[in-house]
Structure 1
């Protein structure tokens, strides 16, 4: 029960992350200068409130959590195939239903803010960057919802971290990852100092601009597994140094990435060593939002902003507190929808896929078992 409660704190942290992202998308992302046109009926009201203005860092908080959780998952997997099947069972069914829902709702609503095409399902359902499809077919591709970009980054991380884990083994995983990550950062910095061309390719292949956040999560899991882990501390230091030196993120040249990682470190260190300080994150309603945060992340942006834009077109732009109430009401509606998707689709679909794979393994084991002859 202690273990379950502590991990429920992570669900609460997921809820904080997704609420930050929703605040950013409903108050900041779709108004100038980030957007050519303002799509909010309340104008830029709230756009300069720091909690909304920097709410996009909720994605980086997700990356830290992912580094922690994926490390835990790897230590419970028998093979790289087992790992990816678990990830597929967790991610694909929900991506399928949420992208279909988003596509259907956007085409049913009388709106013109977002217009996904059928071809946009290709990058979305394969968790691959639309740029690859655009280059391959010579026509522009995008995701069904622009928020999916972080899932494409996640899958790159899954690929590299799983290769390292199953190549070096559980005993040497943390040390190998620390060495390889440090070598990658040093190589990148060296090539940048020598003015090598096409450095963006390294960032694209290794998701280097986001990788330090995942590395922090791996470091925290190393400390979770062993509170005295020196390599866990090394990983945490590497993540901070990489963020300070690479400066590849959306807030390059500012101190905000370091402020956010400082706050994240404080929360995670409390989670590890002073759990009572963050026990409030395990509050069941908050943790429930975190549990359904994946479907909420996939659903909230395009549908929500399209509805806000419809209201704006009908009533005009008015920077008033009354119209700004639409954002939290819409967020609540998105939360309820995501909870329904989680309960009625995400969990049953995941369990069905995992059970099917377990059944196939059992059947294969039974076939391979030698038949004993009767005496």
Structure 2
């Protein structure tokens, strides 16, 4: 299994590069004038699909974690220990760096805005429940809120009903979402708003990852395929409604690329390249810090650099610096904090 996991690390590296490309070259043309020239290049304009790649990887890895967990609580504890340390470090970094970047309104560090990230709960849901207005420390945190609810649901199904109900069980929240428009017309708008914020629409991607894992283990059943195809139809219809039918092409490419990487030695070799696996190693911390710090820095640079071509190269420079920050977090800060939370003495880092 080890070689397989190596290529998944490379896949994580590729996913974060896609997301960074999207944020640097397509997402903010109003703030970064050079992006007007690059925002329609498909690799950038569809770079957000890197997040769906992360979701498929999560789906694949999740059964491994479930199989190694003794109970629901131990599973959630493992997931929490995996996600929380980097989230705490990244949130504090963004909080303290926020004051250095008054140029960008999204960088508004308030202590209360640390909360959504640290409890992995959508700020809009928190705002609805408490009446206090919350925002995320970074826009990219949204996918972690989706992951957290996914773990709660799949863990609950696995440890109560058993693994064979996991995929059909994940379809339920997606159907709930599909039925929400009907419920809304019956007059339950608050309930629907809360449901729509959980990100159930993305579960189709987790399910693709789960199904590939089950297939690799020879546990795939016809029902699984039916359920996943149904989930994908719900997901695709959502994307077609919001972004047009053309979006189907990149959606299918990303999905087939993920599935193909388990069957094609060439793809597996490409994804196992040191360059991609090294980025993959730091991808989680990189994902958490990249958007705010990169965009804010680019806005600052844009004041001084008048040459558009030079500005186009700047995201590469800025992202490279941030990669090393993310690498340091992943290599040293995160494991140290995780051991602290586990109540373990921290061994000295191995050299080499």
1:46 shift after superposition: 1.0
Q: Report if aligned partners of 1:222, 1:231 keep a CA contact under 8 Å in 2.
A: no
1:13 and 1:165 map into 2 onto residues whose CA distance is 26
1:286 shift after superposition: 1.0
Q: Report if aligned partners of 2:302, 2:311 keep a CA contact under 8 Å in 1.
A: no
1:108 is paired with a residue whose SS is: coil
Counterpart in the other structure of 1:370: none
Q: 1:11 aligns with which of 1, 9, 12?
A: 9
1:182 shift after superposition: 4.0
Q: Report if aligned partners of 1:27, 1:46 keep a CA contact under 8 Å in 2.
A: yes
2:155 and 2:138 map into 1 onto residues whose CA distance is 27
Deviates more, 1:231-240 or 1:57-66: 231-240
Q: Which runs of 5+ in 1 are unaligned?
A: 32-37, 358-375
1:132 and 1:261 map into 2 onto residues whose CA distance is 28
TM-score, normalising length: structure 1: 0.82
1:133 is paired with a residue whose SS is: helix
1:24 and 1:237 map into 2 onto residues whose CA distance is 28
Q: 1:125 aligns with which of 110, 118, 123?
A: 118
Q: Deviations 1:135-169 (Å, cap 9, x if unpaired)?
A: 34433210111111111111111111110010112
Cα RMSD (Å): 2.5
Counterpart in the other structure of 1:372: none
1:139 and 1:314 map into 2 onto residues whose CA distance is 38
Q: 1:346 aligns with which of 334, 343, 347?
A: 334
Matches within 5 A, 1:1-375: 3-31=1-29, 38-40=30-32, 42-109=34-101, 111-113=103-105, 114-169=107-162, 173-174=163-164, 176-186=165-175, 188-190=177-179, 192=181, 195-197=185-187, 198=189, 199-205=192-198, 207-226=199-218, 229-245=221-237, 247=238, 249=239, 252-315=242-305, 320-354=308-342, 356=344
Going from structure 1 to structure 2, the CA distance change for 1:77 and 1:310 (only over 3 Å counts) comes to same
TM-score, normalising length: structure 2: 0.87
1:335 is paired with a residue whose SS is: helix
2:208 and 2:23 map into 1 onto residues whose CA distance is 25
Q: Which runs of 5+ in 2 are unaligned?
A: 346-352
1:122 shift after superposition: 1.1
Q: Report if aligned partners of 1:12, 1:282 keep a CA contact under 8 Å in 2.
A: yes
Counterpart in the other structure of 2:348: none
Pair member with larger Rg: 1
2:186 and 2:52 map into 1 onto residues whose CA distance is 28
1:293 and 1:185 map into 2 onto residues whose CA distance is 28
